[in-house]
A = this chain, B = another copy of it.
Amino acid sequence: VAVLAPEATELEVRRLVEGVRLRGFEASVYDVGPGVILLPSVSPEDLDELIGGHRAIERVFIPDTRYCLVRREVEPSGTAVRIGDVVVDEGGFAVVAGPCAVESREQLLATATGVQSAGASILRGGAFKPRTSPYNFQGLGMRGLELLAEARSRTGLPVVSEIMDPHLIEPMYRLVDAFQVGARNMQNFDLLRALGDADKPVIVKRAPSATVEEWLLAAEYILAGGNERVVLCERGIRTFNNTTRYTLDLASVALVKRETHLPVLVDPSHATGDPVLVAPCSLAALALGADGIMVEVHDDPRLALSDGQQSLTIEAFAQLMDSLRRLAPATGRRIASPLHTLSA
C-alpha cells in the first residue's frame, strides 16, 4: 500500500507517520517524486481511517504488483532524470553513444568527438568490462575512467560507465555522470543497495533472462534505498532465436513505459549484435515511445578489443542521427542535448 504526499511540510509528514506507527502499523517514507509512504501492514479497510482526508496526502493507491515506488501512479507524468547537463525524459530522446570499451586515449577521443559532432547526447564507454572468458581483455580500469573524464571536458558530453562492485562507487564518483548496472549485475543486490545510497543517476540494464517484474524490482531496490534517479535500459533477452545475438523486446518497452514513471532506453547494439540492424531498431524505439537509445560506436570497429563486430562507425552513427532527427518531430520529441553546450 503506497500513499503520495504533495507539497506537505516535512513536519506534517513526520507527524502523520508517527500517528500511523502509534496505532501499531508499519510506515516508511521514501523521497520518490513528491514523496511516498509505504504502509505494508495496513489493510485497505483501515487505510481510509488512518490517513484518509489528511491534507499531507494527495493520492492513495493499492499496488497489485511487488514493485511500488517505480509505479507510474507515483509520478503519472513521468520522471525526468538529469545526467550531467542532459535531461532524460518523455519530451526528449537521449542518444547515449560511445565505444564498448575504452581502449586508448586516441580511440576514445576520436570516437567521443565524432559522436559529439554527430549530435549524441551522452558519452558511454566501459572501463571495467565484465567478460565471459577470463582470458579476454578486462578493461583499462581506473585509467579508462580518467580518459572518459578527459573526453567529457573535451566534448561537453556527460559520461556513463559500468560499475561492477560497490567499492568502486567512491573512486568512480567524480569521474562519471551516471553509473551503469550491466545486464549481468542486474540482480547483484549488494550493488543495487549501495547505489540506492549514491547521489548519482543509475542506468539499470535488463538482464537477458529477466522478466519485466524482475527488472522493475531491481530498480525498486535503488529507489527503496533513497535514489530515485534511475533510468532503465532494454538490451535484448535470450530466446531460441539466434539469428540476432539476443531478441530485442520492444513490446516490453512499451509495456514498461505504462508500468513505471522512470525513463526507458533501448540498446540495439547489444540486442542485435549487428550494426546493420542498429538503425532500424533505433528508429523503431523512437516511434514506439522509448526515451532514448544506447549505441556502440567505434572509430575503427575492426580494431575493437570488445564487441567490435556490433559497433557502428562514426559515419554510420552520423547517418543514424540524421534519420532520428527526421523522424523525431512526427513523434513529438526532440533529440536531447546538454543544456549548456560548449562553444567551439
Binding site for B on A (CB under 8 A): 40, 66-67, 130-135, 164-167, 184-185, 187-190, 193, 207-209, 211-214, 217, 220-221, 224-225, 237-244, 247-252, 254-255, 257-258, 268, 271-272, 274, 276-277, 280-281, 283-289, 326-327, 329-331
Contacts and interface: CB of A to CB of B under 8 A. Distances in A.
B238 A244 contact: no
Given A254-B284, A284-B287, 13 more contacts: A40-B135, A66-B133, A132-B187, A132-B214, A134-B217, A134-B220, A165-B190, A211-B240, A237-B240, A237-B247, A247-B252, A280-B289, A284-B288
The number of times this chain is found in the oligomer is: 4
Nearest to A68: B135
22 contacts: A66-B132, A131-B189, A132-B187, A134-B217, A164-B189, A208-B209, A209-B209, A211-B243, A237-B241, A237-B247, A238-B238, A241-B252, A242-B242, A243-B255, A244-B255, A247-B251, A251-B272, A255-B272, A255-B277, A258-B276, A281-B288, A287-B327
A336 B190 CA distance: 35
Residue with the greatest number of chain B CB neighbours at <10 A, chosen from A211, A213, A224: A211
Nearest to A243: B212
Contacts of A135: 40, 66, 224
A138 to B, nearest CB: 8
A241 B330 contact: no
Contact of A247 (B40, B133, B247): B247
Given A241-B252, A251-B248, A255-B244, A164 B184 contact: no
A238 B239 CA distance: 8
A30 to B, nearest CB: 11
Given A185-B188, A237-B239, A280 B288 contact: yes
Contacts of A244: 251-252, 255
Given A211-B240, A212-B241, A238-B240, A134 B221 contact: yes
A172 B130 CA distance: 25
A286 B286 CA distance: 11
Given A135-B66, A287-B327, A289-B280, A130 B189 contact: yes
B283 A287 contact: yes
Contacts of A221: 134
